[in-house]
Amino acid sequence: MTYEFILFEKIQKVGVITLNRPQALNALCEGLIRELTAALDVCEADPDIHCMVLTGSEKAFAAGADIKEMQSKTYRESYMEDFISKWERIDRCRKPIIAAVSGFALGGGCEMAMMCDFIIASDTAKFGQPEVTIGTIPGSGGTQRLTRVVGKSKAMEMCLTGRMMDAEEAEQAGLVSRVVAVAELREEALKTAHKIASFSLPIVMMIKESIGAAFEMPLSEGVKFERRLFYSTFALDDQKEGMAAFLEKRPPVFKGK
């Protein structure tokens, strides 16, 4: 498949998707979402890809949903098409996906970064939910995910005023896992992805699934869910290999089995 709005590369065991619509600061038009979905389908189906990185340009990760495309939509059209549901492919990924954010991550761009498993930000990153300034509200989980991550007070202030959060504040608030120099963002994200990809794929997927459950379940159920997955790792060759390698003081050779 050829892509118009994204770049898609496979670097060893990592699928790297770069949003590439510079003239619109990577605004998330329908074509871009279609291509992103297709690339994620490829990554999920390819047994040699263990981890994904989603990134944008230095100036913008993504400046939100495409306002030109949305402006004239009627309520009926948007409700019947349910166009935002097409963005949920990221949320359905079972393999880990890292957002590497530089520049603007606004509206749907911030929401898309939050759908990823964690965010590595450049020191120039700016996060915000400016929908209030254009007469609408966040529509792809902004009021929900941002609130869970940064708490009520900051989420309220950001969504009610459209104020942007810089990288330093985002790190302090727990929105991003790490801030790196802008020139090092891609390399750092790739290094992190390669590290994850070096482990057993089913184990990595179970960790992702278990942390995801923390947002959906009460603590007592979440702990039980985790324990069942933990016991199930004993059915994998990789658990036997990982623990044997530790005891034999040698690096493990994981086979994903």
CA atoms of 100 and 236, how far apart (whole Å): 32
Nearest distance from residue 165's CB to ligand CAA, in Å? 14
Task: Name the strands in the sheet holding 97-101, side by side, starting at the edge strand that comes first in the sequence.
Answer: 6-11, 14-19, 51-55, 97-101, 118-122, 178-180
Question: What single letter denotes the amino acid at residue 130?
Answer: P
* Binding residue (CB under 6 A) for ligand CAA from 15, 56, 96, 107: 107
* Binding residue (CB under 6 A) for ligand CAA from 111, 117, 171, 238: 111
Q: How far is CA 155 from the centre of its chain?
A: 19
- Among residues 104 and 254, whose Cβ is nearest to ligand CAA? 104
CA atoms of 172 and 180, how far apart (whole Å): 14
Which residue, 51, 80, 71, is CA-closest to 193? 51
Interface with ligand CAA, residue 15, by CB under 6 A: no
Give the pair of three-digit tokens for residue 68: 């030109």
Q: In the range 58-87, which residues lie near ligand CAA by CB under 6 A?
A: 63-68, 84
Nearest distance from residue 25's CB to ligand CAA, in Å? 4
Half-sphere exposure of 156 (CA within 13 A, CB side): 3
Nearest distance from residue 112's CB to ligand CAA, in Å? 9
- Among residues 96 and 142, whose Cβ is nearest to ligand CAA? 142
Active-site positions? 65, 108, 111, 131
Half-sphere exposure of 217 (CA within 13 A, CB side): 14
* Binding residue (CB under 6 A) for ligand CAA from 6, 27, 90, 158: 27
- In this structure, the strands spanning 14-19 and 6-11 are antiparallel
Interface with ligand CAA, residue 245, by CB under 6 A: no
List residues near ligand CAA by CB under 6 A: 24-25, 27, 63-68, 84, 104, 106-108, 111, 130-131, 134, 138-140, 142
